[in-house]
Amino acid sequence: MARAVILMADSLGVGAAPDAEKFGDVGANTLGHLLDAYAQEHGAALALPNLSKLGLIDACEAASRRTLQVAKRQLPEAAWGYAKELSSGKDTPSGHWEMAGVPVLFDWGYFPHTTPCFPQAFIDEFIKRTGIEGILGDCHASGTTIIAELGEEHVKTGKPICYTSADSVFQIAAHEESFGLERLYEVCEIARSLLDEYNIGRVIARPFLGNDASDFKRTGNRRDYSVLPPAPTVLDKLADAGGEVISIGKIADIYAHQGITQKYKAPGLENLLLKTEQVIADAPDNSLVFTNLVDFDELYGHRRNAVGYANALKEFDDFLPRIIAQLKDGDVLIITADHGCDPTAAGSDHTREYVPVIAYTPGLGNVALGERESFADIGQTLAQWFDLTTLEYGKSFASALKPTQAQ
């Protein structure tokens, strides 16, 4: 029986999507621009031999129609292409769900870019049900910035910091010690139950530690509370067929724990990769190991740190041979993204981009997959890989992954 590994390089877009103008993202190119920034900072191109050997550079150049600045480039020995998004947004759940075969073809609810931005009726009921004295924030904000600005007042008053972004999200930041981690999770669950009528996609718990504004820092105990995907994903189908779907990082949260049979948390890029390596080694046949590499998005994309993003990508590249070494004949490794987050773009929001579609199985040669019409092509490919029933959306490229068809 087959196994599959998905490494979701969160936010690693490879060029503006055809409808980028609708989202204000013309010219976005997360991968291309972080490589440009690195070369400008260091006077030399970043070396990505392992990712280039998997076709990432070729995919980005094909999607964005430009040459990338990268050193130690290798010829691809994998299937590579790029996909555009059917879903109506550029948010995390939409990208993940579509990749698993269920595009989001409805509009999420969003909060207005005003201060205050949350409906008063919701806030009143939220305060009533949680027993808190009130909230701080009530605005669009960067998570790190608003914690620095309001963290001391939060510790003093006990009022949680509530904010949003361009995504369909309600975020609650609270100090793990003075407010309490479990209490933060409890108030997030209450908020989740109240926000369904507003069609808000996620509530996110944002715990932090520190003594004052100079050293407040978010911890690895983030938790996402998502609504359920609108239809069964390939994860559901595999789990229902008796397979293992193993979540590493925030995958389980994004899918509202639907279709997940095992789950592991790990803080930071290195620990996520280490846990993935460990889990693959023990994963049985008919299993899917699914990891979200959140640092790319959370620490570098949203914070517009292009050079930091490049350094993290190099860390990923250096680790990849260890992941590949765990693969057996009949296994497939997929590397993709859920959206872009161009660190050179204005603001701090996601960017509407093509995402890479990289697939490697032992013995495969250079296979160009071209432009894919939907992220759902990945889910459809996995459905065929595991011999599951066909999904409603997506076109499988599983037949291109047979070593005998390598080009």
- Looking at domain 120-226, its CATH superfamily turns out to be Phosphopentomutase (3.30.70.1250)
Q: What's the Cα-to-Cα distance from 271 to each of 230, 292, 316, 332, rounded to whole Å? A: 32, 12, 11, 22
Q: What Rg value do the Cα atoms of the chain yield, rounded? A: 21
- Confidence (pLDDT) at 405: 43
pTM of the model: 0.93
pLDDT digits (tens, 9 = 90+) for 149-204: 999 999 999 999 999 998 999 999 999 999 999 999 999 999 999 999 999 999 99
Structure tokens at 187: 């108030």
- Confidence (pLDDT) at 406: 40
- Confidence (pLDDT) at 239: 98
- Confidence (pLDDT) at 404: 53
- Confidence (pLDDT) at 93: 95
Classify 173 as helix, strand or coil: strand
User: Can you tell me the distance from the alpha carbon of 175 to that of 209, in angstroms, rounded to the nearest whole number?
Assistant: 6
CA 399 to chain centre: 27
The DSSP code sequence of 108-132 is PP---SSSS-S-HHHHHHHHHHH--
Ranges of each domain in the chain: 3-105+230-405, 120-226
CB of 41 within 8 A of CB of 47?
no
- Confidence (pLDDT) at 166: 87
Q: The domain 3-105+230-405: what is its CATH number?
A: 3.40.720.10
Q: Which residues of the chain have pLDDT under 50?
A: 405-407
- Confidence (pLDDT) at 284: 97
What residues have CB less than 8 Å from 303, skipping those under 6 apart? Answer: 142, 144, 343, 348
- Confidence (pLDDT) at 1: 62
Structure tokens at 245: 């779907």
- Confidence (pLDDT) at 407: 41
- Confidence (pLDDT) at 315: 98
